[in-house]
Chains A and B, each alone.
Chain A
Amino acid sequence: MSAKVTTDRQQFTGSMRFLHWLMAAMVLTMLGIGVAMVASLGDYHRLVSIHRPLGILILILVVIRFVNRCLTSLPAFPATMSSQERFAAHASEVLLYTLLFVQPLVGWGMLSAARYPIVLFGSLHLFPILPHSVMLYAALRRAHTFLAYLLFLAFIAHFGAILFHTLVVRDGMFSRMAPWRAHNLTVRRSKE
């Protein structure tokens, strides 16, 4: 590879890729737990006991991830992407970051409004962030479900777009976020 390539980032930084895959696993687990626990009697308690601390962990990680993203440079979009696609990719990224930040807060907020103790593990618990109001709880509880479906749809769109670019357009889209370090990055660069 030419020296020029090293000045031209083609992959997200290691910390960004690490946070991406860690959070991807956590968020998918969380969506699965969420949809299973509301339909479960026998496993409800076990699942809800994981759901609460995992949600708070996601909230912490998304803040770290956002700050990390602001501090590092990003790889360019593949040249195969039209300006509309770039806009859609950017908008979906904003949507995903927003959902990952808002959804745990809504969860924390709804438990606060209902004055449930927000137990993480053992005797460790969080303080309430909203006033006591069961009407507010009911509204936030509905919002939590709505945002979960929205997050799931956003994930499906994101996953589908990456698969399409990687398997059909074949522009090396996946390698930008691949968990491993990509060497022979794009067709274009390798030709130079």
Chain B
Amino acid sequence: MAPIADNQDPKTALGSGESPSEAAPIEQRPAPLTRGSMLVRLGGIGVLLLGVLGAFLYWGGWFSPQKLTPTRFVNEFERVNGTYSGFRRNHAKGVCARGFFDSNGQGTRLSKAVVFQSGRVPVIGRFSLGGGDPRASDDLSTVRGLGLQFSLSDGEQWRTAMISLPVFPFKDPQAFYGNLVSSELDPNTHQPDPAKMAAFLANNPETARALGIIKGHVPSSGFDNSTFYGLNAFRFVDADGMPTPVRWTLVPVQPYEAANAAEASQDKNFLFDALIASIVQHPLQWHLIITVGQPGDPTNDATIPWPEGREQVDVGTLTLDSVESEETSPARDINFDPLVLPAGIQPSDDPLLSARSAIYSQSFTRRAGETKEPSAITPSEVRK
């Protein structure tokens, strides 16, 4: 094709100087459609367009209003816990911490992740209590959380959200949701309906079993001597591409001391205040312990502990040496999404993982756009 002709104005190229609107109707129009044929063609176009629209609505879940979605899940959190502007929909009460992770290099055998090469990476974290009320009173029996973000030297991140329970009470998001629904307060008694909870446990025997394990595990006296469990299984992938199923745990260097409700302070923030006092005295440390799964160990069910005697690899030490109120710390704005993973760590087939990622994201998106109200653990609380 000649370049000059290529640059011709398309309108003049159409005909020899004639205006297209004059020339076209006579020359170009094929035999007119009959009325019926026209209707059939227009109808066909309508059906095609509606089909495309329907396919998208179907993928978006519009035809399955009963399907559990991140939106419905977070709505249920709000129904049970209330909505507190700017706060996480669960684990709302918290305080932020900073420190570092010293890797001893032992983890490189299992995972190529940069974080396991010998050396130090900065860590930002957040201690929290379970529940959606950011001003709830501290209670020894409330589940404790620790979210961590490791900033790797190559710009990657590893985020993990761990809790103080040795197993998770729910095997999948549906069970978690069912539990939330059955813990809704009865409008008359202002208490959860025990019959609903009993029915839930009868339908979810794995939750009843997990609660048995959790009951046999006496919580420690504070955040500083809590063990934190990663709960879900993950896959470590080594430099040769070999996958290994793993779970991880943070085991405190601070000695375990059983919680004693009789001795516990009545102060609203006694657990957080003790954490602040402790970290001011000396840096707090935990060993990051990787439990290596064997073939047959369940990776898709966080309610089941792995058998005793699995190989445990101590891959390094986490040190947290300062605390900060949420109001001033960047950790408030971190979504501790358990699927923010570096190369070398992959999700397992545990259905909770993708669900946690989706629900955390929904919670994060909602609170991100809200006015941020003061945290219960204020900057002055942290300094006193």
Interface residues of A (CB under 8 A from B): 6-9, 31-32, 35-46, 48, 72-80, 82-83, 114-117, 119, 122-123, 125, 127, 132, 134-135, 137-139, 141-142, 152, 156, 159-160, 163-164, 167-168, 170-171, 186-188, 191
Residue of B nearest to A142 (CB): B369
Q: Is the CB of A44 within 8 A of B358?
A: yes
Residues of B within 8 A of A8 (CB): 5, 8, 13-14
In the complex, B136 has a CB within 8 A of chain A: no
Which single member of A74, A80, A167 contacts B45 (CB below 8 Å)?
Answer: A167
Q: Is the CB of A38 within 8 A of B10?
A: no
In the complex, B384 has a CB within 8 A of chain A: no
Residues of A within 8 A of B14 (CB): 8, 76, 79
**Given A38-B70, A44-B70, A132-B330, are A7 and B2 neighbors across the interface (CB < 8 Å)?**
yes
By secondary structure, the B interface counts as helix
Q: Is the CB of A41 within 8 A of B368?
A: no
Known: A8-B5, A38-B70, A114-B333. 4 other contacts (CB 8 A): A36-B60, A39-B69, A40-B69, A116-B337
Chain B 185-214 near chain A by CB (<8 Å), digits 1 or 0: 000000000000000000000000000000
Q: Is the CB of B368 within 8 A of A168?
A: no
**Given A7-B2, A79-B21, A79-B24, are A117 and B30 neighbors across the interface (CB < 8 Å)?**
no
Residue of B nearest to A161 (CB): B45
Q: How far is the CA of A152 from the CA of B49 in the complex (A)?
A: 11
Query: Which of B89-97, B126-134, B348-356 faces chain A?
Result: B348-356
B53 CB to closest chain A CB (Å) equals 7
Query: Which of B103-111, B153-161, B270-278 faces chain A?
Result: B153-161
Chain B 7-39 near chain A by CB (<8 Å), digits 1 or 0: 110110111000011011101111001000010
Q: How far is the CA of A32 from the CA of B59 in the complex (A)?
A: 7
A121 CB to closest chain B CB (Å) equals 9
**Given A73-B7, A135-B368, are A115 and B333 neighbors across the interface (CB < 8 Å)?**
yes
A159 CB to closest chain B CB (Å) equals 7
Which single member of A117, A134, A141, A164 contacts B333 (CB below 8 Å)?
Answer: A134
Question: Can you name 27 A-B residue pairings with CB atoms under 8 Å?
Answer: A8-B5, A9-B6, A31-B56, A32-B55, A37-B358, A39-B67, A39-B69, A41-B68, A41-B351, A46-B354, A48-B357, A73-B6, A73-B10, A74-B10, A82-B21, A119-B156, A122-B343, A125-B156, A135-B369, A138-B365, A141-B369, A156-B52, A159-B49, A159-B52, A164-B42, A168-B33, A170-B29
Interface of chain B residues 202 through 247 with chain A (CB within 8 A): none
**Given A115-B333, A116-B335, A167-B45, are A138 and B368 neighbors across the interface (CB < 8 Å)?**
yes
A126 CB to closest chain B CB (Å) equals 10
List of 7 A-B pairs having minimum Cβ-Cβ separation, nearest first: A79-B24, A138-B369, A7-B5, A44-B358, A76-B10, A39-B61, A134-B368
